[in-house]
Amino acid sequence: MATELQLTKRYGVKDSYTLKVSLETGGYASLPKLFAMTPEQVVEEVKASSLKGRGGAGFPTGMKWSFVPKNTGKPVYLVVNADESEPGTFTDRYLLANDPHLLLEGIICASFAIGCHTSYIYIRGEFKQQFDRLNDAIVEAKKAGYLGKNIQGSGFDLEVYVHRGAGAYICGEETGLLESLEGKKGQPRIKPPFPAVQGLFACPTIVNNVKTIASVPWIISNGAKSYASIGTQESPGTHIFGLSGHVNQTGYWELPFGMPMMDFINNYGKGVKGKLKAVIPGGSSCPILTAKECEDLTLTYESMKAHGTMFGTGCAIIMNEHTDMAEVLKNLTHFYADESCGQCTPCREGTAWEDRLMKKILAGEATAKDLDLMLETADNMEGKTICVFASALAMPVRSFIKKFREDFEKRLIKNTVSVPETVS
C-alpha cells in the first residue's frame, strides 16, 4: 500500500500555488481540529508524532516547541528557515514554489501551539519566484480569513512576513539567521541562551525548517499515531529525498523513511552512471561514505549515525569510479573558506588553511606531511567554535582523506625526504 503524500500531493497540479487549488485539494483542513485543541495539546500531539527537524540536525520538533517559556510578558516568534543553501540540497525551494499555502497552514498550526502572533519566513535572496509566490499566498490567505485577525472565527491572530536574505550560507544557522533578520551581520550567537528562551529581538523564538513546518498539518489532521506508523520508529513520517550527481535520473521524491540507499539509487535514480564509488548522503557537510558502506545503509537518521555520517538534508550526491576525490574536496574547501563568517579563529583560519593545502595538493606541490596537516587542522576545528560551521568542513576533510587517501597521495611529491639542518 502506497503511503499518502504529505508534502508533495499538489506538485504537478495546475496553479498548485494558489489558494483556490489548495482549498480544492484539502488545504487548511487541519484548522477546525487545530482550534478545537489547546496549544498544549498541539505541542503534545507533535511530540507524540516524533517529528524530527528536517533542517539537518534532526532535533525532535515537539520537544523544541516545549522549551518556549510561559508568561514572560514578551511576544513569541516563529521563524521559518527557508535559506536553503547546503550544497547538493534542493527540496525546500520546490515546496515553496509549488505549495506555499501548505507552509502557511503549517505556520498557523505551529504558531497556535507556541503562542506566536507574528511569524517570519527567512528566505534565500536568490529565490525570487518563491518569494513572490509566498507573498501572493499571504495576501490570498489574509483576504480569505486564514491570516490576520480572528482566523476563521477562532479568536487567534497571526501575521506572517517574508524576509529575504542576501545569500550567506552561515545564515542557515539559526542564530546567524536571527542576527540577519534583526538587520545585523549574519554571525552565530553563543548558546545558551537558546533561541527558544531568547531569540529574535531577545524574545522567545522557535526556528524550524520549511519541511518541518509543512509536515505539521498532516499530523494535526490525521493524528500523531498515524504519522508515527509511517517510516521507522526512530525516523517516522515521510521526507523529500533528493538525488544528484552520477545517476541516470536526478530529482526529488517524497518517500517514507527506511528505504535502502541502493534501492533509492537504483529504483528512483535509475542506477549509477558507471560504477558507484562514493555517496555524500545529506548535503556537503556530511561525512562521505564508500560504495561498500552504502550496501546496508537505509534512509533513516539511525542508519546514517550507525555508519558514521549524518542524515543531514536527505539529499544524496552520487559519485562514480571516475570521480577524483581530491577535486571534489577542493570544491568543498573553497566553498567553506569563502562562506565562513570569520567570527571564530579556528573556523576563519582553519577553513582557509584547508583550502590552501588542497590547492597545494592539486598543484602537485604537497608532501605526505601536508596531507597529515589537513587532518590535524580538521581536529583543531571541530567542536571548537560558536557554531558547527567549522565541523561542517572538518568532517568531510577527515572522511575524504581517510577513505580515499590514494586519490590524494597520487598527487603528492614522490620520495620526499626530510633532511636535518646542519649544525655549524
Q: What is the DSSP track for 62-116? A: HHHHHTSPSS-SS-EEEEEEE---STT--SHHHHHHH-HHHHHHHHHHHHHHHTE
CATH of the domain at 51: 3.40.50.11540
- Final residue belonging to a domain, choices 288, 320, 352: 320
Same domain, 166 and 249: no
End residue of a domain, out of 199, 228, 257: 228
Task: Specify which residues 208 forms β-bridges with.
Answer: 80
Could you list the residue range(s) of the whole structural domain that residue 376 is in? 325-409
Please say if the pLDDT value at position 305 is more than 60: yes
Domain presence at residue 138: yes
CATH of the domain at 309: 3.10.20.600
Mapping DSSP onto H, E and C, the string for 371-409 reads HHHHHHHHHHHCCCCCCCHHHHHHHHHHHHHHHCHHHHH
- Whether the per-residue pLDDT at 424 is higher than 70: the answer is no
- 208 CA to centre of own chain: 10
Domain count, the chain: 3
Residue 3 counted as domain residue: no
Q: What is the largest CA-CA distance in the chain?
A: 92
Q: What is the overall mean pLDDT for the chain? A: 95
Q: What is the mean pLDDT of residues 25-34?
A: 98
Residue 280 included in any domain: yes
Note whether 285 and 151 are same-domain residues: no
Amino acid identity, position 233:
Q
* 143 in the same domain as 29: yes
Angle at 245 between CA 391 and CA 88, to 5 degrees: 40
Residue 417, pLDDT > 70, answer no
Are 91 and 162 in the same domain?
Answer: yes
- In a domain? residue 418: no
Query: Would you state the pLDDT for residue 2?
Result: 62
Closest CA to 312 of 280, 286, 279: 286
Q: Which of 293, 320, 347 is the last residue of a domain?
A: 320
Q: Which residue has the higher pLDDT, 124 or 418?
A: 124
Mean pLDDT of 274-279: 98
Confidence of residue 58 (pLDDT cuts 50, 70, 90): confident
Q: Look at residue 71 and tell me whether its pLDDT is greater than 50.
A: yes
Statement to judge: residues 284 and 302 lie in one domain: yes
Give the pLDDT band (50/70/90) at residue 416. low
Which tens digits make up the pLDDT trace of 167-208?
899 999 999 999 999 999 999 999 999 999 999 999 999 999
Pair 274, 381 in one domain: no
Residue 369 within any structural domain of the chain: yes
Q: Does 56 score more than 70 pLDDT?
A: yes
Cell of 319: 559519485
